[in-house]
Amino acid sequence: MTKLTHYGIIGCGMMGQEHLKNIALLENTIVEAIYEPDAGMAKKASKLAPNATFTKSINELLDINNIDCLVIVSPNFCHIDQLMQILEKKHIPILIEKPLFTNESDLAKLKKFKDQYKSHVWVAMEYRYMPPIQAFHEKILEATGQIKMMTIKEHRFPFLEKVNDWNRFNKYSGGTLVEKCCHFFDLMRLIIKSEPTRIMASAGQSVNHLDENYDGETPDIIDNAYVIVDFKNNVRAMLELCMFAEGSRYQEEISAVGPIGKIEALVPGPGRFWPKDLGPAPTPKLIISPRQPQGPIHKNVQVDEKLLNAGDHNGSTFYQHQKFLELVRGKLKSPEVSLLDGWKAVAMGLAAQRSAETGLAVDLLDEKNYPI
């Protein structure tokens, strides 16, 4: 019989609550302790994990002996200091939400943590585990022959409200191309199977949050961008981001093209935002279009309804947790999304932010710009 696995959770805002819902779907697991300093979020979390102990500090949580693993779902700017705090107290597997860090000034701490931490760290890049994106990844070579170009388009709603609205400012979030788009830079590296050499970006804040004011400060996060990435293997990729496109039928549209054809994954956004008067919410799709004239092949990608109800990411949070649990229980030897993967995705996002600010391409072969 499988031993009960005990979780410690740091942070239970909107995404933290999604993690709690998905842990509850796993067999032989229990949330043992939670640290959540916001009273409102702690109250919501207590309904999802009624047996959990709520601690007054991270150190108090780390002092609980029978915790088998940690899940960090705190605001972005807290991640590095919390990792360093854990480093001094406990060495057990960690699942940490993206982005791994938010500023180049965090790198010295991150390097120290990487060198000294004696357990596994899994960075939560759950987009890898979305069923339509997994189907896309599995069929990409068959459909294209060899990938030459890749495009990721995300047209979605603006950033949601978070505790103290920390996600309205670059200094807390790392900037939109880090906070939101590290997922997409991670997918590019995963699917293209190469490292980036140069990033060029054009971006701006055109619509969202312009009339908001927080203690005299106006939000500075961008809401639209084009980013072009060149890779060592001569594949090029593009990201198109728009965060004032709530009416889009599909939130993400990902395509790859090669000498024999094209493949696309169409991914709807969270079902709770779909206007009911438009009928049933769209279904994820995979489309394969050969260069020969027989026409495209359309395939629906079904996602379990109970997984859709447990979060906003097409079931991917559950599948990610399944894999992380295998790592905790020793059935996987290493994380599928490593500390280095999380590091590179943020480095790409920071380079894209810099390119958008300066109007210049950023050379990622320069260690200063891609310090990994």
Distance of CA 301 to the CA centre of its chain: 21
Asked if residue 193 and residue 113 are part of one domain, the reply reads no
**How much of the chain is helix, strand and coil, in % rounded to 5?**
35, 25, 40
Question: What pLDDT shows up at residue 262?
Answer: 97
**Which residue, 77, 107, 126, sits at the end of a domain?**
126
Asked if residue 118 and residue 36 are part of one domain, the reply reads yes
Asked if residue 27 and residue 100 are part of one domain, the reply reads yes
**Residue among 121, 117, 118, 115 at smallest CA distance from 100:** 121
Asked if residue 230 and residue 185 are part of one domain, the reply reads yes
Asked if residue 208 and residue 298 are part of one domain, the reply reads yes
Rounded Cα distance between 106 and 113, Å, is 11
Q: Is the peptide bond before 290 cis (omega within 30 degrees of 0)?
A: no
**Which residue, 81, 99, 126, sits at the end of a domain?**
126
**Residue among 3, 75, 69, 61 at smallest CA distance from 33:** 61
Asked if residue 228 and residue 97 are part of one domain, the reply reads no
**Which residue, 99, 126, 153, sits at the end of a domain?**
126
Asked if residue 211 and residue 230 are part of one domain, the reply reads yes
Helices (H), the chain: 14-23, 39-48, 58-62, 79-87, 107-116, 131-144, 170-173, 176-179, 182-192, 305-308, 316-328, 339-358
Asked if residue 171 and residue 108 are part of one domain, the reply reads no
- C-alpha distances out from residue 172 to 64, 75, 149, 193, 258, Å: 30, 8, 33, 31, 39
> CATH number of the domain that 202 lies in?
3.30.360.10
Asked if residue 185 and residue 37 are part of one domain, the reply reads no
Asked if residue 207 and residue 342 are part of one domain, the reply reads yes
Q: Does 330 fall in a domain?
A: no
Q: What is the pLDDT along the chain (372 residues), one digit of tens a residue?
A: 579 999 999 999 999 999 999 999 999 999 999 999 999 999 999 999 999 999 999 999 999 999 999 999 999 999 999 999 999 999 999 999 999 999 999 999 999 999 999 999 999 999 999 999 999 999 999 999 999 999 999 999 999 999 989 999 999 999 999 999 999 999 999 999 999 999 999 999 999 999 999 989 999 999 999 999 999 999 999 999 999 998 899 999 999 999 999 999 999 999 888 888 888 889 999 999 999 877 899 999 999 999 999 999 999 999 999 999 999 999 999 999 999 999 999 999 999 999 999 999 999 987 666 766
Cα–Cα–Cα angle for 57, 8, 21, rounded to 5 degrees: 120
Asked if residue 101 and residue 248 are part of one domain, the reply reads no
17, exposed or middle or buried, with CB in 10 Å at 0-12, 13-18, 19+? buried
Rounded Cα distance between 184 and 178, Å, is 10
- The answer to whether 224 touches 352, Cβ cutoff 8 Å, is no
Asked if residue 156 and residue 122 are part of one domain, the reply reads no
Q: Does 51 fall in a domain?
A: yes
Q: Does 368 fall in a domain?
A: no
Question: What pLDDT shows up at residue 367?
Answer: 67
Residue 158's domain comprises: 130-303+335-363
Q: Take residue 142 and report the two structure tokens written for it.
A: 């068959």
Q: Does 314 fall in a domain?
A: no
Residue 135's identity, in one-letter code, is A
> CATH number of the domain that 67 lies in?
3.40.50.720
